[in-house]
């Protein structure tokens, strides 16, 4: 969106010597794998890591070979917890604002919840896209990590009419379904082909009229707390329960203006695909698409399904997609029996945080993507969300682990942690970024040099817009955690 300890030798190697191909393999070797492999690492169960004579722990070294990874070795409960005074001395040095404003922050031991560093951790602040961590947790709990969303074509009220019905998939592709993709997992060309086959089997001969049912979401399509400038710039767009490319004109272009009626854009693309598929079968399609709800007694003619919620949460966190975050919030509301609206989404996210047992004092949920300046979340609350995801009592939340960007390698952290002051965190820090005009935040987790899993959140508010030192301060602070043997 936005401790001075000698650098580890492996970090310099990553930065200066490894080619891109090796970096790609290295991320697989270093990054936290699927939740089923990782969960024992966070609970302390399983075999202990092999002994090493090196002063640098095994998990912080470049692998000796490039064989397929087996996952991070389980962490030991006996690994020492950083001494708060020693840790604080380092973090208070690095966590300094560049110009105006200030940073708050919290670091906790994931296993015990012990607070190791607290600078204004209870102070409610604008979290920017760190808000998406709350949304990820709420969506996984309310919907379920393996849930998929269906886009259906059903029979219309008039003979020969069909109704394209949105079920919450806004990652539709215009072409054929991509089995291995998240974006484009369900394709409109495939849906059109299935529809023509069903129409033929039903004996339809006359022209086919396409209608659009996007009634799953209710209320205003735009959150009233969003800046019109952000909408115009394409930071988000009016929300609908179906869209192409997360409401982008081109899946390869993730900046700039978005369609203002993403559902109709998708419906028109479907109509075009249906026209092509129908022509090959000797059928015709009436030009134009009109809105209209599907009859209650309608018959399902064709259906395509999205990638799983787990995969969509990963994409949302990795790319910090505001549109997808807001849609997942509305879908969580629908799953919880609430309206699929702005108010339904914000109420559902708040309730899910509350149900996790996280104190909600001062918490204000104005939107679920983090674009709104009306959001108020403390560093302590964000650290607790990360702790719930990594090592809490609800195992379904492990589904959100894979979405945290990896420092220097993936997502919104891919181009960071590349200089001498931050390279110690490369490949180790896993965190969600957040940036608004005068706001910057970073919340995530790291295994420190002693093998202890730490969760953290740092939030800067009132900052000087564009001051480069603020992002560096966050990255240096997280890197200090990664290299900490603070005893």
SS3 of residue 456 by DSSP: strand
Q: What is the pLDDT of residue 36?
A: 40
d(CA 248, CA 252): 9
Report the half-sphere exposure of 114 (CA within 13 A, side-chain side).
Answer: 11
d(CA 210, CA 125): 47
> Where is 22: in which H helix or E strand?
helix 20-30
pTM confidence score: 0.86
d(CA 231, CA 402): 29
**DSSP states along 187-230:** BHHHHHHHHHHHHHHTT--S-EEEEEE-TTS-S-SS-TTS-HHH
Average pLDDT for residues 315-338, to the nearest whole number?
A: 98
Higher pLDDT, 36 or 467: 467
Judged by average pLDDT, the poorest of 185-199, 202-216, 351-365 is 202-216
Confidence of residue 205 (pLDDT cuts 50, 70, 90): confident
Residue 302 near residue 318 (C-beta atoms within 8 A): no
Residue 222 near residue 239 (C-beta atoms within 8 A): yes
Q: What is the pLDDT of residues 22-73, one digit of tens each?
A: 344 444 444 434 344 344 444 444 444 444 444 666 656 655 554 444 444 5
Q: What is the pLDDT of residue 32?
A: 39
Contacts with 161 (C-beta within 8 Å, 6 or more apart), sequence order: 155, 208, 209, 210, 211
Q: What is the pLDDT of residue 282?
A: 92
The percent of residues in the chain predicted with pLDDT above 90, rounded, is: 80
Q: What is the pLDDT of residue 411?
A: 96
Q: What is the pLDDT of residue 56?
A: 66
Judged by average pLDDT, the poorest of 56-70, 155-169, 170-184 is 56-70
Query: For residue 96, what are the CA distances in angstroms to 116, 463, 475, 481, 484?
Result: 18, 11, 11, 16, 19
> Catalytic residues, which ones?
129, 132, 320
């Amino acid at each position: 969106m936005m401790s001075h300890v000698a650098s580890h030798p492996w970090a310099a190697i990553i930065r200066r010597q490894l080619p891109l191909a090796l970096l790609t393999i290295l991320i697989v070797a270093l990054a936290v794998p699927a939740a089923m492999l990782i969960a024992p690492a966070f609970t302390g169960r399983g075999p202990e890591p092999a002994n090493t004579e090196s002063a640098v722990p095994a998990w912080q070294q470049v692998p000796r070979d490039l064989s397929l990874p087996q996952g991070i070795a389980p962490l030991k409960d006996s690994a020492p917890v950083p001494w708060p005074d020693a840790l604080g001395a380092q973090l208070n040095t690095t966590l300094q604002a560049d110009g105006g404003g200030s940073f708050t922050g919290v670091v906790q031991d994931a296993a015990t919840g012990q607070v190791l560093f607290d600078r204004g951790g209870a102070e409610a602040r604008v979290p920017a896209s760190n808000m998406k961590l709350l949304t990820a947790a709420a969506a996984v709990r309310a919907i379920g990590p393996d849930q998929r969303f269906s886009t259906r074509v059903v029979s219309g009220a008039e003979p020969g009419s069909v109704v394209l019905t949105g079920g919450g998939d806004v990652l539709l592709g215009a072409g054929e379904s991509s089995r291995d993709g998240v974006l484009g997992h369900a394709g409109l060309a495939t849906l059109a082909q299935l529809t023509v086959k069903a129409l033929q089997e039903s004996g339809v001969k006359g022209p086919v009229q396409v209608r659009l049912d996007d009634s799953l979401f209710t209320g205003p399509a735009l959150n009233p707390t969003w800046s019109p400038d952000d909408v115009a710039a394409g930071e988000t767009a009016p929300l609908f329960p179906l869209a192409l490319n997360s409401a982008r004109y081109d899946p390869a272009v993730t900046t700039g203006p978005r369609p203002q009626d993403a559902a109709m854009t998708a419906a028109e693309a479907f109509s075009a695909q249906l026209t092509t598929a129908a022509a090959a079968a000797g059928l015709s399609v009436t030009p134009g698409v009109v809105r209209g709800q599907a009859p209650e007694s309608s018959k399902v003619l064709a259906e395509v399904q999205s990638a799983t919620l787990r995969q969509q949460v990963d994409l949302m966190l990795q790319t910090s997609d505001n549109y997808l975050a807001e849609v997942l919030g509305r879908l969580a509301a629908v799953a919880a029996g609430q309206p699929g609206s702005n108010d339904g989404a914000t109420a559902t996210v708040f309730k899910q945080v509350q149900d996790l047992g996280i104190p909600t004092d001062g918490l204000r949920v104005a939107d679920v993507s983090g674009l709104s300046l009306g959001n108020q979340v403390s560093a302590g609350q964000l650290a607790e969300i990360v702790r719930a995801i990594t090592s809490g009592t609800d195992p379904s939340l492990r589904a959100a682990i894979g979405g945290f960007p990896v420092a220097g390698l993936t997502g919104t952290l891919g181009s960071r942690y590349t200089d001498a002051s931050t390279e110690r965190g490369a490949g180790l820090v896993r965190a969600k970024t957040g940036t608004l005009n005068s706001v910057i935040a970073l919340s995530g987790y790291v295994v420190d040099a002693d093998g202890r899993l730490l969760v953290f959140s740092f939030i800067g508010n009132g900052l000087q817009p564009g001051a480069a030192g603020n992002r560096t301060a966050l990255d240096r602070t997280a890197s200090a955690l990664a290299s900490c043997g603070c005893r």
